[in-house]
């Protein structure tokens, strides 16, 4: 069976990308990272990709007048590299139905909150303002809404007295680095079945590797 080819979309430093690269290089994720795309030319994620001999391409949003043209350029790169699974690792843009439909059921995202609470770009700020005692992170399939797709994995992180956005984000990020590769592995191994909003994790096949 051919390996999944992963396309990773990033906007910044790419720390989640690094955890995925590590998992692939260890053999935990039996897939190939075919390309890393960033919407900013100076995104450090592109440097991380080059350090591991992974093709990297900057598709700069400002170079395109319309969002649809920008997304078509992203899709062109993903198709050119044979990508079968799209992973959003700190990609700070909402994808339109045009993009989502092109890879329907084949886009995973990591969000730094326990969805459905606190969707959007300011999850840590919103969680602290609300006064929650537990936050965390969520890996989910991407649909045409904002952080609204079916949930694959979640991890809880207690909120400490005196937490700031930065201190909470740092602790949540450690869990992101743990559960995002785990969710990608489940997908690649064919162990996810979606039934409406429910994502069922199938047992390992008899004799399957742990």
Q: Could you tell me the CA-to-CA distances from 28 to 11, 66, 113, 135 in Å, in that order?
A: 25, 39, 25, 27
Inter-residue contact 114 to 138 (CB < 8 Å): yes
Q: Could you tell me the CA-to-CA distances from 165 to 109, 122, 128, 146, 156 in Å, in that order?
A: 21, 9, 7, 21, 16
Give yes or no: 111 in active site.
yes
111, 124, 140, 177: the catalytic one is 111
Residue 80's CB is within 10 A of a number of other CB atoms, namely: 12
Any idea which residues carry the catalytic annotation? 111
């Amino acid at each position: 069976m051919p390996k999944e080819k992963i396309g990773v979309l990033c906007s910044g430093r790419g720390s989640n990308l690094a955890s995925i690269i590590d998992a692939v290089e260890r053999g935990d994720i039996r897939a190939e990272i075919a390309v890393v795309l960033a919407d900013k030319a100076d995104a450090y994620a592109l440097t991380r990709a080059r350090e591991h001999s992974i093709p990297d391409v900057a598709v700069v949003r400002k170079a395109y007048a319309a969002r649809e043209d920008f997304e078509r350029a992203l899709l062109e790169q993903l198709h050119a590299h044979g990508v079968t699974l799209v992973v959003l690792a700190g990609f700070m843009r909402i994808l339109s139905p045009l993009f989502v439909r092109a890879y329907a059921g084949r886009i995973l995202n990591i969000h730094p909150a326990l969805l459905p609470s606190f969707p959007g770009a300011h999850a840590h700020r919103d969680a602290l303002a609300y006064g929650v005692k537990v936050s965390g992170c969520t890996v989910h399939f991407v649909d045409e809404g904002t952080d609204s797709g079916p949930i694959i994995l979640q991890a809880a992180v207690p909120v400490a007295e005196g937490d700031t956005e930065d201190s909470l984000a740092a602790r949540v990020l450690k869990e992101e680095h743990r559960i995002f590769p785990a969710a990608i592995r489940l997908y690649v191994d064919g162990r996810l079945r979606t039934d409406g909003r429910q994502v069922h994790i199938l047992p390992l096949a008899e004799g399957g590797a742990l």
